[in-house]
Amino acid sequence: MEYFLELLLGGLTRGSIYALIALGYTMVYGIIELINFAHGEIYMIGAFTGLIVAGLLTMLGFPGASILAIALVCAIVWAAAYGYTIEKIAYKPLRGAPRLSPLISAIGMSIFLQNYVMLSQTSDFLPFPELIPEFEFLKANNSIMSSSELVIVIVTILSCVGLSLFIKFTKLGKAMRATAQNRTMAMLVGINVDMVISATFIIGSSLAAVGGVLIASHVGQINYYIGFIAGIKAFTAAVLGGIGSIPGAMLGALVLGLTEAFATGYVSSDYEDVFAFCLLVLILIFRPAGIMGKEKTQKV
C-alpha cells in the first residue's frame, strides 16, 4: 500500500511538471491554433535565467527564500520577453499564411534557441542549486514526498485554477476567448487581437519560466536540451487532455504522469513510454479531440 502511495505521489509530481509546461502549449493553441514548438525552449531559458540569477544572488549573500523569489521573478520577466519577441518575429508575419508555415517557423525557432543557449552558455550539464527550502513537517516523510515535489504540485494546481478564473472573469480573458472563437469577428467588435495574442504568449511563457525554475531546482541539473524532451511530453499531455482546453491540459498531464509512474512501478521502466503513448493512441481513437476537447464542427 505504501508502495502504491509512493508511486501515486511520484506520478502526481511528474504530471504536475508536465502540466506546468502543457498549460502554455494549450493556451497558444487555443488562441491561434499553432503548436508552439519553441515553448519547451522558453522553459529551458527560464531555468537558465533562474540559475544565473540564483548564482549571482548567492554570491552576494542573499538569504535562501529571497533567492528563490527573485530568481523566479527574473526568470518570468526574461522568459516573457522571449515569448513576446518570438511571437513578433516568427509567428506574426505568418499569421495569414497556410498553417504549416508557422509550424515550421516554430520548429526553426526551437532549434535556433537550443543552439543559441548551447553556444552562449555551455553544452555541458550544469548543477542547479536546491532553491526550494526543506519543510520541517515533511522531513519525517521524505521518502514519500519531498518539499520540492509538494511545491511543484501546489504551484501547478494554483496556476491552473488561477488561469481558468482569469480567462473566465477578466476582460482580457474574455477577449482571449473571443479571439479563440473567431478572430475576424473579435476584431470587428473592437478587440485588439495583436495585443491579446501577445498577452497569451507572455502568460504562457511566464508559466513555463516558473516551471523551469521549480523543476530544475527539483531535478538538480540543467542543460540546453532539457526543453526538448520536457516539451515533447508536455505536448503529448496537452493533446491527451484536449489541446486548447486548460483543465484538459492539467488532466492530460496528470493522466500521463500517473500512467508512466505506474507502468514503471508495476511493469518495467523499459516500457514507460510504450504505455504512455499506447494510452495516447487509445484516447485519441475514442475521443479524437482529447479527454476534455470539444468536437469542433468544420467551418465551411
Partner 1 sequence: MRIKLSLIVLCLAMVAMLAACGGEADKAEKKAEAPEPAGTIVLGVAGAHSGDLASYGLPTVNAAKLVVAKFNAAGGINGRQIEVVAQDDQCKPELATNAATKMVSDNVKIVLGHICSGATKAALPIYLDSEIVVISPSATNPPLTQSGDYVNFFRTIAPDDAQAALEVAFAKGLGLKNIAVIHDKGDYGKGFASFCKLFVENEAGMEVALFEGVTPGAVDYSAVVQKIKSSGADGVIFGGYHPEASKIVSSMRKKDIDIPFMSDDGVKDETFIKVAGKYAEGVYATGPMDFSGNPLFQEALAAHKKEFGTDPGPFFPEAYSAAIALLTAVQNAGSTDYAKVIEALHNNYVDTAVGKIKFDAKGDAEGVGFAIYQVQDGKYVEIK
Binding site for partner 1 (CB under 8 A): 3, 6-7, 10-11, 13-14, 17-18, 124-127, 142-143, 146, 149, 215, 218-221, 223, 225-226, 229-230, 233, 260-262, 264-265, 268-270, 272-273
Work out how close the CB of 6 gets to partner 1 at its nearest, in angstroms, rounded to a whole number: 5
| Residue from 11, 35, 25, 8 nearest 248 by CA | 25
Instruction: For partner 1, give the closer residue by CB, 124 or 295.
Output: 124
Q: How many Cβ atoms sit within 10 Å of the Cβ of residue 295?
A: 8
| C-alpha to C-alpha distance for 275 and 264, rounded to whole angstroms | 9
| C-alpha to C-alpha distance for 10 and 19, rounded to whole angstroms | 14
| Residue from 287, 11, 214, 97 nearest 106 by CA | 97
| Torsion angles phi and psi, residue 220, rounded to 5 | 90, 5
Work out how close the CB of 217 gets to partner 1 at its nearest, in angstroms, rounded to a whole number: 12
Instruction: For partner 1, give the closer residue by CB, 182 or 269.
Output: 269
| C-alpha to C-alpha distance for 147 and 132, rounded to whole angstroms | 7
Instruction: For partner 1, give the closer residue by CB, 10 or 24.
Output: 10
Work out how close the CB of 262 gets to partner 1 at its nearest, in angstroms, rounded to a whole number: 8
Instruction: For partner 1, give the closer residue by CB, 105 or 259.
Output: 259
- What angle, rounded to 10 degrees, do the helices at 193-219 and 2-32 form? 160
Work out how close the CB of 296 gets to partner 1 at its nearest, in angstroms, rounded to a whole number: 31
Work out how close the CB of 44 gets to partner 1 at its nearest, in angstroms, rounded to a whole number: 12
Non-local (6+) Cβ contacts of 72 within 8 A are: 50, 209, 210, 213
The dihedral over CA atoms of 40, 42, 44, 47, expressed in degrees to the nearest 10, equals -140
| Residue from 285, 257, 260 nearest 21 by CA | 257
Instruction: For partner 1, give the closer residue by CB, 146 or 200.
Output: 146
Work out how close the CB of 95 gets to partner 1 at its nearest, in angstroms, rounded to a whole number: 33
Work out how close the CB of 175 gets to partner 1 at its nearest, in angstroms, rounded to a whole number: 34
Instruction: For partner 1, give the closer residue by CB, 55 or 173.
Output: 55
Instruction: For partner 1, give the closer residue by CB, 75 or 256.
Output: 256
